[in-house]
Amino acid sequence: MSAVLRAEGLGRRYGKRWALSDCTLDIPAGHIVGLVGPNGAGKTTLLKLAAGQLTPTTGGITVLGGSPGAGPGQLAKVGFVAQDTPTYAGLSIAEHLKLGARLNPGWDDALARERIERLGLDPARKAGKLSGGQRAQLALTLGLAKRPELLLLDEPVAALDPLARREFLQSLMEAAVDQRLSVVLSSHLVSDVERTCDYLIVLVDSRVQVAGEVEELLAAHHRLTGPRRDPARLPADQHVVSASHTDRQSTFLVRTDAPIHDPAWTVSQVSLEDLILAYLHKSAATRRRPALEVQR
Amino acid sequence: MIEFHLDERSGVSPYQQLVRQVRQALRLGLLREGDRLPTVKEVVARLAINPNTVLKAYRELEHEGLVAARPGVGTFVTTTLADASLAAHGPLRQELRRWLAKARRAGLDDESIEALFMTTFRNAAQEDIA
């Protein structure tokens, strides 16, 4: 299986601060990948490294088999829609398309025009006069019309109202089918990720906490509820992601590939949202361990 | 043509929801042999869901022998589930309506009716298995 993105020990430092450290990933083609994490976790850094807008401090990254930003051929294969879906306020939609045609060798003008028409947008309209949702759709159109194999989107819907957000994701999913695109999109909206993504990367504090196909992740994570127990007494193949205790009861979220036979536990499935929150919480807990131990 | 919808709070995975909606439409006679299901592109463009979710649902329906994919044309319903039992729906619905009216007269609200129905339904289903 060909990988769209492969990273090995990838890291990027700004001055003294590591924005991304020891990142190892192997994402197969044909997925819609959700990159989830709090602000400042390193999502933008990872996307910019993949787009070739940043160079690694440590380790290596290959995108679609090539080095990001290695040349015009590589740049044409990867589309990047940066945060806040930037457009030129003073230029009209038609001028954006003209610019896109001039800058991208594989530009699909028919596709761009057809999309703008379907969105009901007037090509003469200046980008500065568009609504947030329309501007996002314009940025998406520019990203799609260059006919990339991989489209990277950095928080594309964060600033949009629910309707514009849904419309944007509808367009994106439709395009993914039409153009056989692989997509990596960062988001902190778990419900959007749950709906649209079939591969998940959780990034916290510059580190990848978990990465994999959503279906496999859901099958490997379980919630165990039962009489209070020390996590150290769980089987070695059950990795505790989160634990909470009352004086009598323990609840664990564990990752394991083996079946759980211990009759003391009530085993239940976890939703993707529970899973993501457990990993976000886990790394927050390691940072603030003393405080949490007191609270228990 | 069937139109899918998605309930994010149901706790049922999206692909399962799609499978159930097709089965239900077949049982109710809303889908019949020869009908085409919406294409993957049509479904994702409407629901903003992952294309693989739709593919997985269609594969499962195909595996159950309810639909068949004709490459380049679409996915078609190959069976009709409703025929034998559909005739019974009318009288059963009427009986259920009468029962609902009775339950309301006895002072049950919507939630109590639903709870009573679901517990009875589950108990009966369990007894059938046992």
**Interface predicted TM-score of the whole assembly (ipTM), two decimals:** 0.82
Query: Where does the pLDDT of residue A283 fall: very low under 50, low under 70, confident under 90, or very high at 90 and above?
Result: confident
Q: Could B48 and A178 be called an inter-chain contact, meaning their C-beta atoms sit closer than 8 Å?
A: no
Residue of B8, B50, B58 to mutate, testing the A interface (most A Cβ within 10 Å of its Cβ): B50
Chain B CB within 8 Å of residue A178 CB: yes
Of A195, A198, A271, the CB nearest to B48: A195
Provide the 3-class DSSP secondary structure of residue A32. strand
**B45 neighbourhood in chain A, CB within 8 Å:** 170-171, 173-174
* CA pair distance A76, A34, nearest whole angstrom: 22
Q: List residues of B whose CB lies inside 8 A of any A CB.
A: 6, 8, 11, 14, 40-41, 44-53
Point out the least confidently predicted range of A10-19, B4-13, B101-110: B4-13
| A52 contacts A60 by C-beta, under 8 angstroms | no
* CA pair distance A34, A214, nearest whole angstrom: 10
* CA pair distance B109, B45, nearest whole angstrom: 39
Query: How many CA atoms within 13 Å lie on the side-chain side of B98?
Result: 5
Give residue A53's Cα distance to chain centre.
Answer: 17
Q: Could A173 and B44 be called an inter-chain contact, meaning their C-beta atoms sit closer than 8 Å?
A: yes
Residue B86, pLDDT above cutoff 80: no
Q: How many CB atoms lie within 10 A of CB A247?
A: 6
Q: CA distances (Å), A69 to each of A57, A73, A127, in order?
A: 15, 9, 27
As beta bridge partners, residue A32 has A183
Nearest Cα of chain A lies from the Cα of B39 at a distance, in angstroms, of 10
pLDDT digits (tens, 9 = 90+) for A150-178: 999 999 998 899 999 999 999 999 999 99
Point out the least confidently predicted range of A20-29, A281-290, B40-49: A281-290
**B50 neighbourhood in chain A, CB within 8 Å:** 32, 173, 195-198
DSSP state of A131: -
Could you tell me the residue ranges of all domains in chain A?
3-204, 217-295
| Domain boundaries A3-204, corresponding CATH code | 3.40.50.300
Section A225-236 average pLDDT:
89
Question: Chains A and B: how many Cβ contacts under 8 Å?
Answer: 44
Which residue is closest to B41 within chain A, CA to CA? A174
Q: Could A173 and B40 be called an inter-chain contact, meaning their C-beta atoms sit closer than 8 Å?
A: no
Give residue B111's Cα distance to chain centre.
Answer: 22
Q: Could B8 and A169 be called an inter-chain contact, meaning their C-beta atoms sit closer than 8 Å?
A: no
Of B22, B20, B58, the closest CA to residue B41 belongs to B58
Q: Could B11 and A271 be called an inter-chain contact, meaning their C-beta atoms sit closer than 8 Å?
A: yes
DSSP state of A198: S
pLDDT digits (tens, 9 = 90+) for A60-82: 999 999 999 888 889 899 999 99
| B39 contacts B72 by C-beta, under 8 angstroms | no
Residue A287, pLDDT above cutoff 70: no
pLDDT value, residue A289: 45
Chain B CB within 8 Å of residue A170 CB: yes
Query: Where does the pLDDT of residue A277 fall: very low under 50, low under 70, confident under 90, or very high at 90 and above?
Result: very high
Dihedral (Cα; A60, A65, A68, A73), 10-degree rounding: 160
Strand order in the sheet with A239-245: A239-245, A249-255, A221-227, A266-269
Of B6, B14, B45, the CB nearest to A174: B45
| A207 contacts A200 by C-beta, under 8 angstroms | no
Q: How many CB atoms lie within 10 A of CB B66?
A: 21
Could you tell me the residue ranges of all domains in chain B?
14-77, 84-129
**B14 neighbourhood in chain A, CB within 8 Å:** 195
3-state secondary structure B45-64: HHHCCCHHHHHHHHHHHHHC
pLDDT value, residue A51: 95
Residue A291, pLDDT above cutoff 50: no
What percent of chain A has pLDDT above 90?
Answer: 77
Residue B121, pLDDT above cutoff 90: no
pLDDT value, residue B35: 94
Residue of A174, A185, A270 to mutate, testing the B interface (most B Cβ within 10 Å of its Cβ): A174
| Domain boundaries B14-77, corresponding CATH code | 1.10.10.10
